[in-house]
Structure 1
């Protein structure tokens, strides 16, 4: 019997007879046949009319024409059943183009998908059934190649160091063209060290060369062409030195820091201070650093060189749901057919590439019973889109698994073929059944060497990995628990090194060898260059261990009593009374730091060596005595700063504040609800003074991002808010910086807004928008027994608006003067910064001199610093330095959109002078930054006279066009924050850099505190 969508008279006659009717008719006819019939009973039996059923109508959707390599989602939602019966769906290809290997994912769902992997027609049949009747419809998808030419992408390789005198061969072979067009190459030597005679040989080939004849940096760019279009230029820097020890090393397998900045008490799980115990948050590695492409489609990892899809929304409906997941058989072809950014090297990431993105600032929602996910934190940077499991489709919240190309060389569960995946919701690597679980997909391109180790045996019981820059202990050891493992590494002196540490989860996973397993090789999943001790596991098998990592695996409610580990042996679980490998050697899981028997919800059973404990859906086996292998950096800093102490900073895109020691270890951190706005200070009381950026700015200041704040808070050592005030109305908004006064009150920089009409009425010649903002300094009360003011009260105010003059309109007598230059204590209302912004003056720092009771402010848009009297708010500017044209004068401009003007403390080199980070944009001779020490007042110098200056000049690399700061230290050294680069460094009196730290993203300023600073009492 055939059931089909009604299209012919014959078909219509067939569909008028239901399956149930035919069964009834057959039963009646058959009852009158054979030898055992009872005629009387038959005569008396009533004839039951058949139950009528209306057949469903299948609707496979309309035919489509798509581009080749597109992922197509089919839709049966137009199918219907007039009886209201529930429908089931089954899709199948009835015709495919030659050479196509397309596979339907979710073929029994209403919305399956497939990748149109080649040109041609794909005919798909949909069968819809209501359980009684069925009907069929077909849809044709035609895939066609696009005629659009893609712009090629140049790839000049990576920055690297060489020895002066060497011949350097360049490599453009990673340049690409999505259309497969042949490429031509054009290399240019853009700059070379002074005195160099270097030139490129064979500059029109893929591999030109040159001789690095002088120490210094050689800037080289590459442009490629496909015959129709030219690529954008890609540039690299070749750094040449005669001192091999100074040659920078670029790591092909650089490990990105876990982004874990909180320490936890091992027993209670409570958040605690980081005090250098050896926890993950005590150490800072390569900080996460991402760049989103202009079109929003790609994210470049500036540490690893990998380029990622920003979104995993493969069906393009604007949200991540189960409909965006693919079975593993479709994931590779989906990635390989991508052409984002004109690149043709898209691929499904390996497990090591995928794991490079994990961040252990995330919190595990396992066990969370709620439905509101707003407060849950994923293990992934916010630059990427992400989603929890699709609860509406029957998934768990934790079903956020992303596919990798790494297959387990053995099997898991019931001999299932297994694919490793990273779950960015619960923070784990596990092996998953390859074709029983659909995955989210995030494709990758670039750096094909990522994840490839370069091990060498040092002959002293250590192993170096030149790809990652890490040195490992060759032997492992046993532990009692996680605390013991941490302590072992901190105390280790293997090969006479004293800076060993327990590796974080990402460092530890970097040495997994996914080509090995206990069941296929009778070896652990690690290179044989390492020694790994074996033991009899809970099932009595010869096996290898779980290895502790320093990274805490915190739960959704902030409990940090569990730590991560990586399994180099079988990742055992206890399921249905059987011990088995449930997740594969190379899995990353977690268990309790001190006592697995105390794990909430843990079960226990008897194994080959006695009682064991297990937990979770797959019964993950838990162990207290996980193994230990310590790590250190191959290149620890061999430069010792001349100043002791700790450096405080708050990254601009983070809500955290960090205190680091001279070895670049994080010794403490604070957490806030706000990003910094923008400075941060440690008070002698141990409290953290921190302006914060509010998200809902008053309408007048909506959209302003350059330094805005709105709230000032004080945090105690444990990040609890102990004082807070808001400075945000339609007429004023705090921004940039604050300063604590001896009486405990706080100075704050505030924008004060006037309407355009008000500003024009004062003599402003033009206003580009609805309002004009000038800066004021407010003194904010912190109520105490000694004060006579209310908490948060504005008790003192100095405002630019009270000191303006203009020479444009004599009818406005209130502000008119005939000669601006005769009123240097006043502010020229018509001095324009050229930006057309409402932010007219843009003060970016405030400092206080208690001896003189004077306030120093940096006025960026005037390229000046001003000194004003705290004792007399009615008085105008006492001293101004930097740009005579701002007040109608003549003379040389010395400051250029500067930041962070500070009084140098008495008793310090240069005491009494003023230190300024001179950003240096639009200098007449070219852009470069400098740290300038200028005379304030004294018998031996004139105000504004240059006393000392640090720079690299126009030809150097030291240039930050915005933010940044500097601080003169007690030793006479100077701490510098090159804010745009996230670089902190210290130079001595000879201008030699003696300490350096790279955070990797923007920092407004940094402050050094000596070890005996009273605010560090909790640390000491």
Structure 2
């Protein structure tokens, strides 16, 4: 409960904002984003399963979709021609709320082909996975046993960071290559010859000992970023393990064994899942089987910094899938101490989800898991087209079966839930030329018929304003806040106060007249909305914020 101020007493609506009623939210509140594998559309659904927004594209996904912090959609796309291995993509797209492409980068050529996953970094760059298109001769030159090669190609993986430079251009700013960190015990004439078990920081180029005719070696299918230690997680189902590497390196350092925060360059800092992959165990020691969606748990969420993994093919009987949470073995500096001859822990997960009838939950490939702010876990069982949420105790509190596209397969690679309810169509507006900035409010059908009020502040977003158990990300007291609160729907504001429609949606706008706000050049105006229950007149939702900077 906050104290009333003169500004908050200006309208009867303000009094309603102060009534403290905070209903429990279960399942985790938010909107769930996914793109079916056989559909060019990306969907955002609410917890009632209603599609509240969608984006239409010209190419199939390749494979993930995410929302960036400002609400921009980040998407991998398939590109015709080139490699068509499982999970192939070929490019990265960014799209505004209305579907306008703001970035369309092709990454499919004679040297590389993007695939599976691409994520946003805090610096605004994008980190993605690419296949390097090499030859069997390249593999042999690096110590691969020629008798284990089934074709003329050798397709390893690299992790590449791109910075957008234009609507269809980007520049590479960092690269980590699996081929730079090899060990092998087959060919003593090579510089990387050695005892595999003595080098857990390197990848045995002869594991697995057999491979597909395509020459694909690792099939990396997910990448994740830890902002606390500036590290990257890389998942390889072909090897039944994941690795962590240092992202603080330069590209040159990432190609070697020195430099970066770790002092180890691009060598593996940590690996887990299959000791046999580095000569430290047998098939009986393998823990992960065709695993997907391996990700760090986000900061601020229960288990933050741990690793969630969808373990697709857990032996039974019956054969089934499980979701595991693993405590990675980092110390306070982001190092992973390891005694000689030992393997990294943990010995077992700290949390596991298994269906009450294990065989009911099985996806042999695809799939993902995401920890929620309330401690629940959102699970995507990809081949079953089944999205569901479970508590820490394993109770299912929400589920949704994908029905898109109308004709064709319904499988889903990954789903992600966001507490993101407000979009704007501009981040800057010129004081000289002026403009009308549109806002899209999207709370979901649970909030249909609720009153909404779009508010603003020129004083920032933190620590925010607690109201009725919600936290409005706007700083008060503030003159602009008072203006948006006291004069909704009055120029320069339009439709900033109203009622959410049957899907919990509304639109609003702010018009900046040409030449009228010169004194505000350099000022950032942050906006967010509240939804208000029309029965109890309590705030039922406080949205994320959107920033608008006044430029010359």
TM-score (norm. length: structure 2): 0.64
**Structure 1 residue 925: Cα displacement:** 5.5
Deviation digits for residues 609-637 of structure 1, max 9, x if unmatched? xxxxxxxxxxxxxxxxxxxxxxxxxxxxx
* Structure 1 residues 954 and 660: CA distance shift in structure 2, 3 A: closer
Cα distance in 1 between the residues matched to 2:393 and 2:138: 52
Cα distance in 1 between the residues matched to 2:363 and 2:216: 21
- Counterpart of 1:822? 198
* Structure 1 residues 1015 and 742: CA distance shift in structure 2, 3 A: farther
Q: Secondary structure of 1:862's match? A: coil
Matched, 1:868 2:250: no
Q: Secondary structure of 1:894's match? A: coil
- Counterpart of 1:745? 125
Cα distance in 1 between the residues matched to 2:311 and 2:225: 20
* Structure 1 residues 1013 and 768: CA distance shift in structure 2, 3 A: farther
Where in structure 2 are the equivalents of 1:32-47 lying within 5 Å?
Answer: none
Identify the match of residue 897 of structure 1 among 252, 277, 290.
290
Cα distance in 2 between the residues matched to 1:660 and 1:881: 34
Identify the match of residue 912 of structure 1 among 281, 305, 312.
305
Matched, 1:846 2:223: yes
Identify the match of residue 757 of structure 1 among 129, 137, 150.
137
Contact 2:76/2:91 (8 A) holds in 1 = yes
**Structure 1 residue 1018: Cα displacement:** 2.5
Deviation digits for residues 43-82 of structure 1, max 9, x if unmatched? xxxxxxxxxxxxxxxxxxxxxxxxxxxxxxxxxxxxxxxx
Contact 1:927/1:954 (8 A) holds in 2 = no
Cα distance in 1 between the residues matched to 2:208 and 2:384: 29
* Structure 1 residues 938 and 925: CA distance shift in structure 2, 3 A: farther
- Counterpart of 2:325? 933
**Structure 1 residue 1012: Cα displacement:** 5.4
**Structure 1 residue 669: Cα displacement:** 0.1
- Counterpart of 1:391? none
- Counterpart of 1:993? 396
Where in structure 2 are the equivalents of 1:548-947 lying within 5 Å?
Answer: 641-697=26-82, 701=83, 704-765=84-145, 766-783=148-165, 791-812=169-190, 814-817=191-194, 819-832=195-208, 834-837=210-213, 838-872=215-249, 873=254, 874=256, 875-890=266-281, 892-920=285-313, 923=315, 927-937=319-329, 942-943=345-346, 945-947=348-350
Where in structure 2 are the equivalents of 1:47-58 lying within 5 Å?
Answer: none
**Structure 1 residue 906: Cα displacement:** 2.6
Cα distance in 2 between the residues matched to 1:955 and 1:942: 26
Contact 2:319/2:359 (8 A) holds in 1 = no
Q: Secondary structure of 2:63's match? A: coil
Where in structure 2 are the equivalents of 1:73-88 lying within 5 Å?
Answer: none
**Structure 1 residue 705: Cα displacement:** 3.7
Contact 1:928/1:954 (8 A) holds in 2 = no
Cα distance in 2 between the residues matched to 1:925 and 1:721: 47
- Counterpart of 1:976? 379
Cα distance in 2 between the residues matched to 1:1014 and 1:717: 7
**Structure 1 residue 956: Cα displacement:** 2.5
Cα distance in 2 between the residues matched to 1:778 and 1:751: 10
Cα distance in 2 between the residues matched to 1:1015 and 1:962: 37
Where in structure 2 are the equivalents of 1:51-66 lying within 5 Å?
Answer: none
* Structure 1 residues 983 and 924: CA distance shift in structure 2, 3 A: closer
Query: Looking at CA atoms only, which structure, 1 or 2, has the larger radius of gyration?
Result: 1
Cα distance in 2 between the residues matched to 1:914 and 1:668: 30
- Counterpart of 1:138? none
**Structure 1 residue 739: Cα displacement:** 1.1
Contact 1:658/1:669 (8 A) holds in 2 = yes
Q: Secondary structure of 1:793's match? A: strand
Contact 1:644/1:1011 (8 A) holds in 2 = no
Cα distance in 2 between the residues matched to 1:938 and 1:731: 35
* Structure 1 residues 717 and 658: CA distance shift in structure 2, 3 A: same
Contact 2:157/2:177 (8 A) holds in 1 = yes
Q: Secondary structure of 1:677's match? A: strand
Contact 1:833/1:840 (8 A) holds in 2 = no
**Structure 1 residue 911: Cα displacement:** 1.6
Cα distance in 2 between the residues matched to 1:966 and 1:901: 8
Identify the match of residue 1019 of structure 1 among 433, 441, 445.
441
* Structure 1 residues 690 and 964: CA distance shift in structure 2, 3 A: same
**Structure 1 residue 711: Cα displacement:** 1.1
Deviation digits for residues 350-382 of structure 1, max 9, x if unmatched? xxxxxxxxxxxxxxxxxxxxxxxxxxxxxxxxx
Q: Secondary structure of 2:277's match? A: helix
Cα distance in 2 between the residues matched to 1:1013 and 1:929: 36
In the alignment, structure 1 segments of 5+ residues that lack a partner are 1-639, 785-789
Contact 2:362/2:384 (8 A) holds in 1 = no
**Structure 1 residue 1014: Cα displacement:** 6.7
- Counterpart of 1:966? 369
Cα distance in 2 between the residues matched to 1:990 and 1:953: 12
Cα distance in 2 between the residues matched to 1:1019 and 1:846: 31
Cα distance in 2 between the residues matched to 1:864 and 1:1019: 42
Cα distance in 1 between the residues matched to 2:144 and 2:177: 17
Cα distance in 2 between the residues matched to 1:835 and 1:727: 25
- Counterpart of 1:260? none
Contact 2:318/2:359 (8 A) holds in 1 = no
**Structure 1 residue 1013: Cα displacement:** 7.2
* Structure 1 residues 1015 and 754: CA distance shift in structure 2, 3 A: farther
Cα distance in 1 between the residues matched to 2:131 and 2:206: 18
**Structure 1 residue 687: Cα displacement:** 1.1
Q: Secondary structure of 2:186's match? A: coil
Contact 1:936/1:944 (8 A) holds in 2 = no
**Structure 1 residue 893: Cα displacement:** 1.4
Cα distance in 2 between the residues matched to 1:642 and 1:982: 19
Higher strand share: 2
Cα distance in 2 between the residues matched to 1:1004 and 1:958: 15
Q: Secondary structure of 1:783's match? A: strand
Contact 1:881/1:944 (8 A) holds in 2 = no
TM-score (norm. length: structure 1): 0.35
Q: Secondary structure of 2:276's match? A: helix
Contact 1:821/1:888 (8 A) holds in 2 = yes
Contact 2:221/2:293 (8 A) holds in 1 = yes
